[in-house]
Amino acid sequence: MTTDTAAPAANQALEEVLLQHEVEQFYYHESTLLDSHRYEDWVSLFTDDTHYFMPLRRTMTRRQLHLEFTRPGEMAYFDENKEFLEKRAQKLATGTSWAEDPPSRTRHLITNVRITENTDTEMVVHSNFMLYRTRLKADIDQWVGRREDTLRRTGAGLAIARRFIYLDQTVLQSANLSNFF
Amino acid sequence: MKDTTSPADQLDELVSVERGEIDRRIFSDQEIFDLEMKHIFGRAWLFLCHETQIPKRGDFFEAPMGTDNVLVVRQKDGGIKAFLNTCSHRGNAVCRAEEGNVRNFMCTYHGWTFGLDGELVGVPGKSLFYKDKLDLSRYPLRKVAQLESYRGFVFATFDETAPPLEEYLGPTGRLGLDLLAERGDIEAVPGVQKFVVDTNWKFTVDNVFDYYHPQITHMSAFAVGLIPAPPEDFVDGGAKTESGANLEVPFLPTDLHNVVMVGEYGHAISGPDQDSLEVNTGTRDPFAWRYKPDTVAKLGKHGSRVAGHPHIFPTTWVTANGQLSLRVPRSPGVTEIWWFSFRDKNASPEQQAALLSNHIHFFGPAGMLEQEDGENWAQSTLQTRGLQSREIPQRLKMGLGTSEIIKDDGLAVIDAPINEHAQLWTYHAWREWLRNPTWEELRQRTVPGERL
């Protein structure tokens, strides 16, 4: 019968859809935590050995485009382990972190989610983001870019074991990066 | 003051060293900004980059000089030249990358091509269209008037009459760069952070000397231990939160022991004394580089005590911790901040990583200190625009007139509790630059006096 051969393929397709759904829901949950200022809860989504990294980007000619991003060990905007992410979250909670008090209003939009590698324990997931921020009466900033994550399966669900963030700006058009990506 | 006259005609009223007052209009007035570009940035020696950023032939780095951009280029003979990034034909940029390596610079409008030395070497249609009548030697890229390095730090000026770099820096400016160069066999870490703040450049400069602000501005960084936790002492006077609670403002052992140095042309150094800083942090380890005998000798008896921030007029800040920041004026209300990071080539990978981590977490747009600074600068700038608000002067009165300037070992030194002397010195020099005097007049008017 045709179902004998079609069933495994259909099952595999269904599994992929379910996995895609799980990952997307994870990101939506993560975005909600950030946009509702629940930073310490957000940090708990990261593994203890996580690496959160945002390189610098430089305008280079096509011939030297392989050099446009800095690498770990070079200058970066973020180069964080879990402890530093926790410190940043604690700092925002002090009530004296003036660049975020009054807090800015953010919206994280996550799109183009693609699971590019998948093993039993970890996935590599690429996504695009737009972070829109308004601050005080009239400040508006927005950042568009892509993320390369390693998501790890843990007892408590998915966790971010690595996040590299690539912004689509060279000279940053904002006064700071006081939010998370 | 009446608005009918130009602020530029009222320099004496804009900055009063005697009263410790600065007119807010200098932070937003377009005419003042244009004068700054001409009389300060058109004349001063300006930092371009570090030699290690462009080690190989054809390496280039684009650097700002006032309203212009220059290409700093490693030459075939190992030397360094800098020229305006604008084609001698129709003006386009001949290079649109921030850094890289090239054999030539070709304008993408008509193909005029310039060598690494800025000479015009190729013109399409030189015979066919120009009939060989174009003298290529007459149309190089325009070079800066002078370019020199001090211990690997490359500076240039558009003024051919400017004194030599070392003389311009003087003992105070040289000490500032020595405090970075003496950290070892230093090289620039790849990558320069660049970001834009809606502020006037002078706010970003005077903040360098301000050791009154960290306890409040950076209170959250203290709270999470980014800065070593202060002792359980608090300053008097107090600050209260919006809900009426006492905000306990830390009192640091360094607060009563600051060292200020003021120099000709407006250079200055201000901040804690090294000994009291070590008492505060309880460690001497990060400062091992300072105690090598050669370094102690090089820094001198006063330089060895400096743990604060040196600044080279007009916009080059050498941090106390191995970084250099440029504050790049783009308009009266917009400033780019550039951060260069340095490391000792001979330090262990662990030591290099620890220092770089410190740089990334303190300053820059995601730095846990500078985020708050940027917020202050933007707010200060905003409030210079209200017709009524701007009538209120900026007040730099802390310790005003109370400090004796000791001239010793070639330096002009003040020992005092936290103060606003270096800020005021910067504005004093700024005013004298705007008068556009001769170099000798400028030097004489910026020789430190007896007191501040």
Q: What is the pLDDT of residue B44?
A: 98
User: Mean pLDDT, to the nearest integer, of B212-227?
Assistant: 91
> What is the reported pLDDT for B284?
82
Per the structure block, which two tokens stand in for B313? Answer: 């007029």
Contact at CB, B224 and A90, closer than 8 angstroms? yes
Confidence band (pLDDT; 50, 70, 90) for B231? Answer: low
Residue A115 has pLDDT above 90, yes or no: yes
Q: Do A99 and B198 touch (CB under 8 A)?
A: no
**Which DSSP letter does residue B334 get?**
E
CA of B371 to nearest chain A CA: how many angstroms apart?
A: 6
A64 and B360: CB-CB below 8 Å? Answer: no
Taking CA atoms, B312 is separated from A170, B168, B174, B194, in Å, by 27, 10, 9, 19
pLDDT per position as a tens digit, B35-56: 999 999 999 999 999 999 999 9
Q: Shortest CB distance from B99 goes to which of A54, A58, A90?
A: A58
Find the CB nearest B220 among A61, A76, A91: A91
Rounded to the nearest integer, the mean pLDDT of chain A is: 96
**For B114-171, what is each residue's pLDDT tens digit?**
999 999 999 999 999 999 999 999 999 999 999 999 999 999 999 999 999 999 999 9
Structure tokens at A170: 């060279």
Q: What is the pLDDT of residue B1?
A: 46
Nearest to B188 by CA among B48, B2, B308: B48
CB atoms within 10 A of CB A167: 20
Helices (H), A36-140: 39-43, 82-93
Residue scoring higher pLDDT (A5 or A120): A120
Q: What is the ipTM of this complex?
A: 0.95
- Is pTM, for the whole model, over 0.90? yes
Mean pLDDT on A149-173 = 97
Out of B223, B336, B357, closest to residue A94 by CB: B223
Q: What part of B 170-189 touches A (C-beta under 8 Å)? A: 189
The answer to whether B88 and B104 are in contact (CB under 8 A) is no
Beta-strand pair A157-167/A46-55: parallel
Mutate to test the interface with B, among A82, A131, A172, A177 (most CBs of B within 10 A): A172
The stretch B234-247 carries a mean pLDDT of: 86
Question: Which candidate in B54, B197, B219, B220 is best for mutational testing of the A interface (most A CBs within 10 A)?
Answer: B220
Cβ pair A74:B189 closer than 8 A: yes
Which amino acid is present at B107?
C
3-state helix, strand, coil in chain B (%, to 5): 35, 25, 40
B214 touches chain A (CB under 8 A): no
Checking if the pLDDT of B326 tops 60, the result is: yes
Q: With a cut of 50, say whether residue B334 has pLDDT above it.
A: yes
Burial class of A101 by CB neighbour count within 10 A (0 to 12, 13 to 18, 19+): middle
pLDDT score at A2: 53
Helices (H), B321-451: 349-362, 370-382, 421-434, 439-445
- The partner residues of A127 in beta bridges, in order of sequence, read A147
Task: Tell me what the mean pLDDT of segment A99-113 comes to.
Answer: 97
Contacts of A58 in chain B (CB under 8 A): 97-99, 191
State residue B230's pLDDT score. 65
**Which residue did the predictor score with more confidence, B229 or B267?**
B267
- Chain A's closest residue to B191, CA to CA, is A75
Tokens of B400: 């005003």
Q: What would the DSSP string read from start to end of B171-207?
A: HHHHHHHHHHHTTSSEEEPS--EEEEESS-HHHHHHG
Task: Please measure the distance between the N-terminal and C-terminal CA atoms of chain B and give it in whole angstroms.
Answer: 26
> What confidence score (pLDDT) does residue B283 get?
80
CB atoms within 10 A of CB B361: 20
Which amino acid is it at A70?
T
Q: Which of B98, B195, B372 faces A174 most closely, judged by CB atoms? A: B195
| In the predicted structure, residue A3 carries a pLDDT above the cut 70 | no
pLDDT band at A6 (very low <50, low <70, confident <90, very high): confident
| Beta-strand runs (E) in B190-314 | 193-197, 239-240, 246-247, 258-262, 268-272, 309-312
Q: Is the peptide bond before A102 cis (omega within 30 degrees of 0)?
A: yes
A76 chain-B contacts, CB cut-off 8 A? 191, 360
> Which residue type sits at B215?
Q
Q: What residues in A contact B243, CB-CB < 8 Å?
A: none
Q: Which residue in the set B224, B339, B360 is minimally distant from A79, CB to CB?
A: B360
Summarize the confidence of residues B205-221 as an average pLDDT.
95
Please compute the mean of the pLDDT values over residues B243-247 and round it to a whole number.
87
User: Which residues is B338 bridged to in the sheet?
Assistant: B194, B326
Kindly tell me if the per-residue pLDDT of B439 is higher than 90: yes
Asked if the model's pLDDT at residue A4 lies above 70, the reply is no
Find the range with the poorest average confidence among A48-57, B59-68, B86-95, B275-284. Answer: B275-284
Mean model confidence pLDDT for chain B: 95
Q: What are the Cα distances from residue B140, in Å, to A126, B42, B86, B121?
A: 47, 20, 10, 9
Quote the minimal CA–CA distance from A131 to chain B in Å. Answer: 15
**Residue B85 has what DSSP assignment?**
S
**What residues does A46 pair with on adjacent strands?**
A160
Query: Cβ contacts (< 8 Å) between B219 and chain A: which residues?
Result: 94, 96
| Nearest chain B CA: its distance from A179 CA (Å) | 8
Interchain pair A175, B336: CB under 8 A: no
Q: Which helix (H) or strand (E) element contains residue A33?
A: helix A2-35
User: Could A59 and B98 be called an inter-chain contact, meaning their C-beta atoms sit closer than 8 Å?
Assistant: yes
Q: Residue B4: which H helix or E strand, with range?
A: none
Q: Is the pLDDT of residue B253 over 90?
A: no
